[in-house]
């Protein structure tokens, strides 16, 4: 039985990476029988399968956040011997590093399109230290997009990089009263039982392309189509309400606010289409979650989950998100009942091939390989 240390600043809280790590770690602990210790600053335990140790972090001044977490993690892990260290964040050394993001320098300059602050400089330095000097035996990217950008920055580690997509729990979506849930959610918002309903979920409306979606819906409405859009999450609602008014779709859009996981799933089950036109997403777990609810998806080519999207089979990938006519065309295609039924079934099939059980099996193989190689060294 091996001693495994898992490192992540926030575990099991709201956020794609935080939930990813919790799902994976809990299932790995049960599957392997190894002893799992999670080193985190904040956490929400899902079960008793793992134990936790609090790692302090300096949040002020901000530039010390990443290096202080790495420093205190290293100091704590040095007090014992661990067979394998699996990190999901930038620390000084580990055996496995799962890449939930892209190189920080690329993120700041190409996605945020800003100058590097002192915080950005120290974070990029920590990352470079981790990748090139941290002794990692394996880097796991969550998508081909993530892998490609990572290797542009760090080509020297090419042979150590693999791709494993996040997973989904199908049991969360196989509820016996699905139709009753659909009716109840729709009634709560005054949506008709047969009115086409699009879903969008994000904690950052701007990055996820809500403006492009609203503009495309304006085009769709001009074609005399009926529809509604559920916007779940957190963002500048007043800004997007004004945009919706300008494009003539204010009455078509409902802002739900933040939803917990259970309620978000219920909203997926009440919907017909999922749409997200992100400026960038390393993967986008909401895309796979929506597929598990049987929703065909429309996403941008900057979303890592495009690995799972087969054009005109289970969804559409939009290369130019500023082309609102094309986006409207794709939505219109999915408003056809026969097309929607076919693509809904394909979306569900895709989700069934990408469960957390499949993900865990892949990580078990990597753990086994790394442990064996360490024993031989």
Nearest to 328 by CA among 186, 215, 245, 242: 215
DSSP assignment string, 156-203: GGGGGEEE----B-GGGT--TTHHHHHHHHHHHHT--TTS-EEEEEES
- Name residue, tokens 């997973």: 167
Burial of 291 (0-12, 13-18, 19+ CB in 10 A): buried
Mean pLDDT of 186-201: 96
Residues with Cβ within 8 Å of residue 161, at least 6 apart in sequence: 139, 140, 141, 147, 150, 151
What tokens does 134 get?
Answer: 């941290």
pLDDT category of residue 46 using cuts at 50, 70 and 90: confident
What tokens does 312 get?
Answer: 């005109």
Nearest to 268 by CA among 217, 218, 338, 198: 198
Give the pLDDT confidence of 194-205 residue by residue, as tens digits: 999 999 999 899
- Name residue, tokens 């993530």: 146
pLDDT category of residue 377 using cuts at 50, 70 and 90: confident
Res. 88: pLDDT tops 80? yes
pLDDT at 175: 79
Give the pLDDT confidence of 150-170 residue by residue, as tens digits: 999 999 999 999 999 999 999
Nearest to 227 by CA among 200, 276, 192, 255: 192
* pTM score of the predicted model: 0.92
Give the pLDDT confidence of 286-323 residue by residue, as tens digits: 999 999 999 999 999 999 999 999 999 999 999 999 99
Continuous H helices in the chain: 16-32, 65-77, 104-106, 118-133, 144-153, 178-189, 210-222, 237-247, 261-270, 285-292, 324-335, 337-352, 356-376
Mean pLDDT of the chain, nearest integer: 95
Give the pLDDT confidence of 7-43 residue by residue, as tens digits: 999 999 777 789 899 999 999 999 999 999 999 999 9
What tokens does 147 get?
Answer: 């892998």
CA gap 1, 154 in Å, rounded: 34
What tokens does 48 get?
Answer: 């008793």
- Name residue, tokens 């904690």: 203
Task: Measure the CA angle with vertex 22, ends 20 and 27; round to 5°.
Answer: 100
Percent of the chain with pLDDT over 90: 91
pLDDT at 111: 87
């Amino acid at each position: 039985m091996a001693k495994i240390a898992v490192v992540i600043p926030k575990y099991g809280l709201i956020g794609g990476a935080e939930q990813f790590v919790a799902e994976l770690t809990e299932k790995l602990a049960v599957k392997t029988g190894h002893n799992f210790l999670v080193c985190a600053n904040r956490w929400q335990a899902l079960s008793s399968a793992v134990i936790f140790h609090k790692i302090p972090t300096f949040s002020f001044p901000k530039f010390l956040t990443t290096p202080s977490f790495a420093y205190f993690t290293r100091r704590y892990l040095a007090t014992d011997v661990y067979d394998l260290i699996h990190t999901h964040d930038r620390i000084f050394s580990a055996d496995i590093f799962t890449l939930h993001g892209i190189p920080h320098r690329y993120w700041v300059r190409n996605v945020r399109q800003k100058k590097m602050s002192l915080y950005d400089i120290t974070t990029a330095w920590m990352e470079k230290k981790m990748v090139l000097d941290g002794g990692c035996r394996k880097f796991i990217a969550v998508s081909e997009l993530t892998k490609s950008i990572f290797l542009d920055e760090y080509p020297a580690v090419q042979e150590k990089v693999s791709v494993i997509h996040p997973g989904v729990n199908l049991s969360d979506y196989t509820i016996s009263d699905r139709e009753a849930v659909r009716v109840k959610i729709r009634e709560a918002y005054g949506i008709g039982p047969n009115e086409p309903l699009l879903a969008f979920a994000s904690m950052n409306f701007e990055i996820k392309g809500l403006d492009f979606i609203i503009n495309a819906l304006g085009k769709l409405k001009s074609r005399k189509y009926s529809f509604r859009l559920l916007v779940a999450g957190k963002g500048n609602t007043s800004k997007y309400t004004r945009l919706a008014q300008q494009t003539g779709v204010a009455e078509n859009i409902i802002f739900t606010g933040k939803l917990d996981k259970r309620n978000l799933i219920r909203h997926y089950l009440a919907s017909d289409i999922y749409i997200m036109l992100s400026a960038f997403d390393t993967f986008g777990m909401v895309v796979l979650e929506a597929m598990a609810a049987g929703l065909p998806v429309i996403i941008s080519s900057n979303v890592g989950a495009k690995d799972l999207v087969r054009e005109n089979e289970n969804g559409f990938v939009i290369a130019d998100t500023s082309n609102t006519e094309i986006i409207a065309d794709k939505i219109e295609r999915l408003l056809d009942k026969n097309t929607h039924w076919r693509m809904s079934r394909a979306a569900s099939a895709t989700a069934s091939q990408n469960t957390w059980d499949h993900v865990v099996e892949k990580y078990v193989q990597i753990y086994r390989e790394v442990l064996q190689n360490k024993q031989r060294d």
